[in-house]
Amino acid sequence: MIASAAALCDELYAVVISLEYRHAPEHPFPAAHEDVLAGYEWAVENSGQYNADADRLALVGESVGGNMGNMVVATAMAARNQQLTEPDHVVSVYPVAQSNFNTESYEANEAALPLSLAMMA
């Protein structure tokens, strides 16, 4: 995600924050989601010191094993549910949105690299 964050920063002339979070199995669900939400809250609260506009927010998540895309959606939903500042945009790049491995896409790309069906399962 670091390369993607740097590319976004360069292309959008935006303040981009890339978050680290606790990983399973050492830190089971919902630890990672809690960390991403805490990072989002911190970014909103501290936006002024980075010359960032908290009224123009986007959450972007890219796979990271299929999970980061889902975490940005969960973070946006938590912001809404907890009546926090909501992001204006949510971008979820190739998230894992279901657990069914018997789809036409999985079958057609069974041996695809870098993520084959076996690796996804």
Instruction: Look up residue 49 and give its two tokens.
Output: 């010191």
More confident residue, 106 or 65: 106
Predicted confidence at residue 66, as pLDDT, reads 47
Instruction: Look up residue 109 and give its two tokens.
Output: 């790309």
- List Cα–Cα distances, 17 to 1, 43, 68, 85, in angstroms: 10, 8, 14, 16
pTM: 0.76
Query: pLDDT digit string (tens) for 76-116?
Result: 999 999 999 999 988 888 777 778 889 998 899 999 988 78
- List Cα–Cα distances, 112 to 65, 99, 105, in angstroms: 15, 18, 11
Predicted confidence at residue 65, as pLDDT, reads 43
Predicted confidence at residue 67, as pLDDT, reads 63
Predicted confidence at residue 110, as pLDDT, reads 92
